[in-house]
Amino acid sequence: MAGCHVLAVEGDMVSRSELFDQGDLDAAIATFDELSRPATRLENAASRVFENEWSHFAARDWDALAEIVADNYSGIDQRGS
């Protein structure tokens, strides 16, 4: 049976594999094009809040970060464990 085999590779591992019949060449090409495009970033209220918090953290702007987190927030740093 002749056909097309479309693989997506991440690093040194195959992350997706699809087989198409020879007659489905257009579908195989469309799938290849889809897998070749970078994934779109999730954009919603939660991602915007995270980006806002992360920008304050990255800038070490602790006062601005303190303004947007809850008063009872606590974090655990396990880097020393």
The structural domains of the chain, with segments of one domain joined by +, span 3-36, 42-72
- What does the pLDDT look like over 29-65, one tens digit per residue? 888 788 777 777 788 998 898 899 999 999 999 999 8
**CB of 5 closer than 8 Å to CB of 27:** no
Mean pLDDT, rounded, of the chain: 84
Task: Identify the band that residue 3 occupies on the pLDDT scale cut at 50, 70 and 90.
Answer: confident
| Residue 15 or 55, more confident | 55
In the chain, % of residues over pLDDT 90: 16
List for the chain the helix, strand, coil content (%; round to 5).
Answer: 45, 20, 35
Mean pLDDT of 5-24: 85
